[in-house]
Amino acid sequence: MRRMRKCATCFCFHILLLCLWNSTICGQVSGAASDEGRFLCVSDIHFNPFQDDALVPRLMQSGVPTWHGILEKSRERKPSPLGEETNYALLISTLKRMNKVCPTPDFILFSGDTLVHEFEKKFGKYSKSQGELRKFVLKTYEFMSYEFNYFFPRVPIYFTLGNNDGYDGDYEIPPSGSFLHAGADLFRRYWIKEGSSGSPGGFEGPGPGPKVLETGGEAAELGFADTFVKGGNYGVRPVRTRHASLIAINSVYFSSRNSYRSQGRQQLEWLEKQLKDARDGDRKVWILMHILPGIDVRATLSHPGQPTVYWDETTRNSRGRTYLQEFKYLMKKYGPTVRGVFSGHSHMDHFRVVPDADRGRGASAFVHVTPALSPKFRNNAAFQLFRYDRDSMALLDYETHYYHPQYNEWEKEYDFRQTYRRSVLTPGSLDKVREAMIESGYVRSAFIRFYDVNNSKDNPITKTHWKAYWCGIASLTRGEFASCLSGAELPGSP
């Protein structure tokens, strides 16, 4: 009897230990009232396979499974310094840290720009052949899936395309073009990880190799093959969620710097259809895009005159609306359905709120901008870990981790909930953070410090420029931005 009781105590103790242990496991929060999940968020990787001249010809000749071994021999062993793009050492260091912080995320969100800037020009040093260039571009995407799969086997990467993606240079992704055709199967199988576990071309040989999930054909159901090939957009029902859709649109077509602006209208028409279907089916939605709406404040400050907008303000749809006006309309109409919008592109850590035009105050949506992994624009390399509710898709919190180049190590930078004292990311809560920057020096300096991911030496937000960055959060058109800048005085500065 005594022995039995001892065993029972021992059993309970072990269960307690197990529970405590579980509570620290990513994705399994014991005792939580809701069903909490976690996902990792990364943006603007801009991977540079040309970092070591001597290795490029070997990469060109070799299959992707051997790239890992070739790049291990790079002369540069340290992660990229500020001002440079992501080298192999930084990529691997990041994946290791992501894996340490959260080894089993539900999925990874990637908001675009896989390739190094001026990929074509850099490749031109080795070959002038378009065919070889295209092959090398695709191999770079394959390599990325290999590396992510090694650290996160069976974890889908939900992605969107950025302006530095594709065969055709900056901002150019021809609709129904060769890149979308050639990449569709690769992205569906090895990034989204859906479909049968066949043996596709280019993936033979040793090495970790991508693992394929049998997820039941959600993306196929939503027409991936058709939509991706036409415009790089697609919808998917994220794994582990119950009533949700992730809608990836190609916002590169909204930029005045691309040649296919009528495609932007089609992206928004398709988005509206997805939002309507989701609302009718009682599903919640996250939207993923690369280029954020609003003012490019940094470009505006360096070229004073007319504010620079990320989305073209001249193209109009059949309702007579610009891209931004249409987006605002959709965010208002489908406000209760949309639980978050994710973007990248600026390389900085910040957000936008989409004002509720009818009420003249408050917000109908927010855009979370994930900072870049590439430290090219002198932000420290970073990624984020999110907590969310798998049922309601509410975004509960996130934390940013960054690589500290001086100490040669990764650090946790900050936690949204603790820093801004908000329990969930909503249009309203982020609008309150925006307002709090006026009243609270603490909130203001937190936003400024985290903007370029804690690189105080090069922070673009200065005493004189602070107001422009603040105005940029919610004044999304040229007119709104100009009137915010000339409007009421803002107290405080960095």
- Contact range with Zn ion by CB under 5 A, out of 57-65, 113-121, 141-149, 443-451: 113-121
Least separation in angstroms between CB 432 and Zn ion = 29
Q: Using the minimum distance from each CB to Zn ion, give the nearer residue, 42 or 353.
A: 42
**Interacting positions 8-47 with Zn ion (CB under 5 A):** 44
Residues 6+ apart with CB under 8 A from 287: 246, 247, 248, 249, 271, 338, 340, 341, 342
- Contact range with Zn ion by CB under 5 A, out of 111-119, 190-198, 408-416, 445-453: 111-119
Asked whether 66 and 205 are in contact (CB, 8 A), the reply is yes
Q: Using the minimum distance from each CB to Zn ion, give the nearer residue, 245 or 380.
A: 380
Q: How far is CA 472 from the centre of its chain?
A: 20
Q: Using the minimum distance from each CB to Zn ion, give the nearer residue, 270 or 377.
A: 377
**Interacting positions 240-299 with Zn ion (CB under 5 A):** none
d(CA 368, CA 69): 36
Least separation in angstroms between CB 334 and Zn ion = 28
Least separation in angstroms between CB 46 and Zn ion = 6
Least separation in angstroms between CB 141 and Zn ion = 15
For residue 180, count CB atoms less than 10 angstroms from its CB and return exposed for 0-12, middle for 13-18, buried for 19 or more.
Answer: buried
Would strands 350-355 and 363-369 be described as parallel, antiparallel, or unpaired?
antiparallel
- Contact range with Zn ion by CB under 5 A, out of 18-26, 64-72, 110-118, 220-228: 110-118
What distances in angstroms separate CA 298 from CA 79, 219, 229, 294, 430, one per listed residue? 26, 37, 33, 12, 21
Would strands 284-288 and 350-355 be described as parallel, antiparallel, or unpaired?
unpaired
Q: Using the minimum distance from each CB to Zn ion, give the nearer residue, 295 or 394.
A: 295
Q: Using the minimum distance from each CB to Zn ion, give the nearer residue, 403 or 420.
A: 403
Structure tokens, 204: 């033979």
Least separation in angstroms between CB 485 and Zn ion = 26
Asked whether 278 and 245 are in contact (CB, 8 A), the reply is yes
Q: Using the minimum distance from each CB to Zn ion, give the nearer residue, 170 or 399.
A: 170
Write the DSSP assignment of 371-401 as a string of letters: PBSS-TTSPPPEEEEEEEETTT--EEEEEEE
In DSSP terms, 86 is beta-bridged to 47
Least separation in angstroms between CB 347 and Zn ion = 6
Instruction: Please name which of 42, 249, 50 lies closest in space to residue 140, comparing C-alpha atoms.
Output: 50
Least separation in angstroms between CB 417 and Zn ion = 28
Least separation in angstroms between CB 287 and Zn ion = 19
Q: Using the minimum distance from each CB to Zn ion, give the nearer residue, 43 or 400.
A: 43
- Contact range with Zn ion by CB under 5 A, out of 66-74, 105-113, 140-148, 469-477: 105-113
Least separation in angstroms between CB 254 and Zn ion = 15
Least separation in angstroms between CB 176 and Zn ion = 24
Asked whether 264 and 254 are in contact (CB, 8 A), the reply is yes
Q: Using the minimum distance from each CB to Zn ion, give the nearer residue, 344 or 427.
A: 344
Instruction: Please name which of 254, 255, 249, 251 lies closest in space to residue 236, comparing C-alpha atoms.
Output: 249
Least separation in angstroms between CB 344 and Zn ion = 6
What's the angle, vertex CA 348, arms to CA 342 and CA 354, rounded to 5? 45
Would strands 107-110 and 36-42 be described as parallel, antiparallel, or unpaired?
parallel
- Contact range with Zn ion by CB under 5 A, out of 109-117, 186-194, 274-282, 415-423: 109-117
113 binds Zn ion (CB under 5 A): yes
Instruction: Please name which of 477, 460, 470 lies closest in space to residue 351, comparing C-alpha atoms.
Output: 470
Write the DSSP assignment of 76-141 as a string of letters: --SPPPTTS-B-HHHHHHHHHHHHHH-SS-SEEEE-S--BPTTHHHHHTTT---HHHHHHHHHHHH
Least separation in angstroms between CB 420 and Zn ion = 26
Number of residues that bind Zn ion (CB under 5 A): 2
Give the x/- contact pattern for Zn ion in 58-97, rule: CB under 5 A: ----------------------------------------
Q: Using the minimum distance from each CB to Zn ion, give the nearer residue, 161 or 425.
A: 161
Other residues' Cβ atoms within 10 Å of the Cβ of residue 185: 16
Q: Using the minimum distance from each CB to Zn ion, give the nearer residue, 111 or 245.
A: 111
Q: Using the minimum distance from each CB to Zn ion, give the nearer residue, 113 or 397.
A: 113
Give the x/- contact pattern for Zn ion in 373-412, rule: CB under 5 A: ----------------------------------------
Q: Using the minimum distance from each CB to Zn ion, give the nearer residue, 168 or 391.
A: 168
What distances in angstroms separate CA 96 from CA 53, 100, 101, 151, 383, one per listed residue? 26, 6, 9, 7, 12
**Interacting positions 40-59 with Zn ion (CB under 5 A):** 44
Asked whether 493 and 459 are in contact (CB, 8 A), the reply is no
DSSP reduced 3-state for 59: helix
Give the x/- contact pattern for Zn ion in 150-169, rule: CB under 5 A: --------------------
Binding region for Zn ion (CB under 5 A): 44, 113
